[in-house]
Chains A and B, each alone.
Chain A
Amino acid sequence: MSRRVGMEVAIAAAEAVALCNIDVAAVYPITPNTHVAEHLAEIVAEGRIDSEFITVESEHSALSAVLGAAGTGARAFTATSSQGLLYMQEVMPIASAMRLPVVMVIANRALSGPLNIWNDHSDIMLQRDTGWISLFAENGQEVVDMLIQAFKIAEHREVMLPVNVNMDGFQLTHTVEPIELPDQAEVDRFLPEYKPYATLHPDRPVTMGAFAMPEIFTEVMKAKDVAIVNAKKTILEVWKEWESLFGRRYEPVAAYKTEGAEVVLLTMGSMGETAEVAIDELRREGISAGLLKLKLWRPFPFEELKKAVKGVKVLAVTDRAVSYGGPGGPVCTEIRSALYDEPDRPVIVNYIIGLGGRDVTVEDFVTMGKRALEAKTKKSREAYKFYGVRGE
Chain B
Amino acid sequence: MIEVRWHGRGGQGAVTSVEILAVAAIEEGKYAQGFPSFGPERRGAPVAAFNRVDNKQIKIRSGIYHPDAVVVLDEGLVGLVNVAEGLKPDGVLIVNTSKTAKELQKAIGFKGRIATVDATAIAREELGVPITNTTMLGALIKAIGIVKMDSLKSPIAHRFGRLAQKNLTAAQRAYNEIRLSA
CB B146 to nearest CB in A, in angstroms, measures 14
Closest residue of chain B to A270 (Cβ to Cβ) is B61
Are A359 and B63 in contact, CB atoms less than 8 angstroms apart? yes
A-B contact count (CB 8 A): 73
- If A175-B33, A176-B32 touch, whether A6 touches B62 (CB-CB below 8 Å) is no
CB-CB contacts below 8 Å: B59-79 with A: 59-63, 65
A279 CB to nearest B CB, Å: 10
CB distance from A73 to the nearest CB of B (A): 37
In the bound complex, residues from chain A placing their C-beta under 8 Å from that of B22 are 6, 176-177
Q: Tell me how far the C-beta of B54 lies from the nearest C-beta in chain A, rounded to whole angstroms.
A: 11
Q: Which chain B positions have C-beta within 8 A of A178?
A: 26, 31-32
Known interface pairs A6-B22, A117-B39. Does A177 touch B33 (Cβ–Cβ under 8 Å)? Answer: yes
Query: Which B18-69 residues have C-beta < 8 A from chain A?
Result: 18-19, 22-27, 31-36, 38-40, 58-63, 65
Interface class of chain B by DSSP: mixed
A274 with B18: CB separation less than 8 A: no
Please, which residue of chain A has its CB at the minimum distance from the CB of B58? Answer: A177
Counting chain A CB atoms within 10 Å of each CB, which of B26, B61, B63, B155 scores highest?
B61
A360→B48 CA distance, assembly (Å): 19
Are A274 and B61 in contact (CB-based, < 8 A)? Answer: yes
Are B59 and A6 neighbours in the complex by a CB distance under 8 Å? no
- Bound-complex Cα distance A171 to B36 (A): 10
Chain B residues with CB under 8 A of A319: none
A117 touches B40 (CB 8 A): yes
A361 within 8 A of B: yes
A123 within 8 A of B: no
A119→B35 CA distance, assembly (Å): 14
Complex CA–CA separation, A357 to B38 (angstroms):
8
Whether the Cβ atoms of B38 and A6 lie closer than 8 Å is no
A153 CB to closest chain B CB (Å) equals: 26
- Separation of A117 and B24 alpha carbons in the complex (Å): 30
Shortest distance between the CB of B166 and any CB in chain A (Å)? 23
A63 and B136 CA atoms in complex are apart in Å by 44
Q: How far is the CA of A177 from the CA of B60 in the complex (A)?
A: 12
**Is B33 within 8 A of A118, CB to CB?**
no
A4 proximity list for chain B (CB < 8 A): 26
Bound-state Cα–Cα, A61 to B139, Å: 49
A174, B38: Cβ atoms under 8 Å?
A: yes
Considering only residues 30-58 of chain A, those with a C-beta below 8 Å from chain B are 31-32
User: Which residues of chain B have C-beta atoms less than 8 A from A273's C-beta?
Assistant: 59-61
Across the interface, do A6 and B61 meet the contact criterion of CB distance under 8 Å? no
A175 with B34: CB separation less than 8 A:
yes
Bound-state CA distance A118–B19 (Å) is 21
Contact across chains for A276 and B59 when beta carbons are under 8 A apart: yes
Distance in angstroms from B92 CB to nearest chain A CB is: 23
The CA of A360 and the CA of B155, in the complex, are separated in Å by: 31
A360 & B62 in contact (Cβ 8 Å cutoff):
yes
Interfacial chain A residues near B63, Cβ < 8 Å: 359, 361
Inside 8 A of A270's CB, which chain B residues have their CB?
61
Shortest beta-carbon distance from A42 to chain B in Å = 14
A191: CB under 8 A from chain B? Answer: no
Task: Tell me whether B39 and A6 are in contact (CB under 8 A).
Answer: no
* Chain A proximity mask over B136-150: 1 for CB below 8 Å, otherwise 0: 000000000000000
User: A361 to B66, alpha carbons, bound, how many Å?
Assistant: 12
* Contacting residues, chain B, for A171 (C-beta < 8 A): 38, 61
B25 CB contacts on chain A under 8 angstroms: 6
Supply 17 A–B pairs (Cβ within 8 Å), ascending by A. A4-B26, A5-B23, A5-B26, A7-B23, A174-B38, A175-B33, A175-B34, A175-B35, A175-B61, A176-B33, A177-B31, A177-B34, A271-B61, A273-B60, A274-B60, A274-B62, A361-B65
In the complex, besides A6-B25, A118-B38, A174-B35, 5 extra interface pairs with C-beta distance below 8 angstroms are: A5-B23, A175-B35, A176-B23, A357-B39, A362-B62
